[in-house]
A and B are shown apart, each in its own frame.
Chain A
Amino acid sequence: NAGVTQTPKFRILKIGQSMTLQCAQDMNHNYMYWYRQDPGMGLKLIYYSVGAGITDKGEVPNGYNVSRSTTEDFPLRLELAAPSQTSVYFCASRRDGEAFFGQGTRLTVV
């Protein structure tokens, strides 16, 4: 099993550009999550999904969108990137409470 795979690992965006952060898991987990990690802060929940076709907002959803067309994939879309979206993004999945995280995507918006 590869676990949770995120791509890309690093990205620099210009203000106003858009991009999609990819996340895939091969463990057949229903629950998937996107978090952002800012310096000196705990991870914050952006969006989550309880299964294919079902998504819901977390604590900090503004400026982001998600989709869940399959159990495996949970991409995070940034439209009109802003400097405030400079962060490290983590995708995670959970089963029976246990959490599995991807390697993270370090995004800089300039």
Chain B
Amino acid sequence: KNEVEQSPQNLTAQEGEFITINCSYSVGISALHWLQQHPGGGIVSLFMLSSGKKKHGRLIATINIQEKHSSLHITASHPRDSAVYICAVGPGGGADGLTFGKGTHLIIQP
């Protein structure tokens, strides 16, 4: 069974700071997901990646398959980025469900 560990659990930063959230997993995977959950809200998929790096706006996700590690970066952070960021790993195109980390609670202060 895959174990997914995220760090830090909680992060408070000032607006404009560069943010890094880390995710490690124990067993080789086909795909890693970064998800965003606003308080009381649903879950939105930010990235799915199986190698390398992806960028969307101010968000960048990287993965190192050999080291079983991924990072989510936020550049020029803004208070609207405040949310819980969740790392999940899964079987790529297979049917099995995802295995989730506990999430990182990010607060960006103005």
A residues with CB within 8 A of B:
31, 33, 35, 40-45, 48, 50, 58-59, 90, 92, 94, 96-104
- Report Cα–Cα, A94/B35, bound state, in Å: 14
Tell me what chain A mostly uses at the interface: helix, strand, loop, or mixed: strand
Number of A-B residue pairs at CB separation under 8 A = 61
Contacts beyond the supplied A42-B86, A99-B48, A101-B42: 8 A-B pairs with Cβ under 8 Å = A45-B97, A45-B98, A48-B97, A96-B93, A98-B45, A99-B45, A101-B35, A102-B42
Interface range for B: 20 to 34
Interface residues of B (CB under 8 A from A): 4, 30-31, 33, 35, 41-45, 48, 86, 88, 90-93, 95-103
Docked CA distance A102–B41 (Å): 9
Q: Is the Cβ of B95 less than 8 Å from the Cβ of A43?
A: no
Contact B103 A42 (CB under 8 A): yes
